[in-house]
Amino acid sequence: MTRWPRPSRSSRPISPQRTFIYAEKLQELGVLKNKAASWKDYFFEEAHGGNGS
């Protein structure tokens, strides 16, 4: 008999969390040419409906 995996007790958001600090640092180091105004500038369009950071 095959057992199905149990759902995780912790919920993980679909939208990105705390990624803007990395974008700021990458821009400071010259990896990103333009400063991002929002997390939506560097993340997938499919996730833009969420409240990310």
Query: Which are the contacts of 23, defined by CB distance < 8 A and separation ≥ 6?
Result: 32, 36, 39, 41, 42
How far from each other are the two terminal CA atoms of the chain, in whole angstroms? 43
Distance of CA 47 to the CA centre of its chain: 8
pTM here is 0.56
Q: Domain residue spans in the chain? A: 14-42
Q: Copy the structure tokens of residue 6.
A: 């149990």
Q: What is the pLDDT of residues 18-40, one digit of tens each?
A: 888 888 999 999 998 888 888 88
Range list of H helices, 1-53: 20-29
Average pLDDT of the residues in 1-11: 70
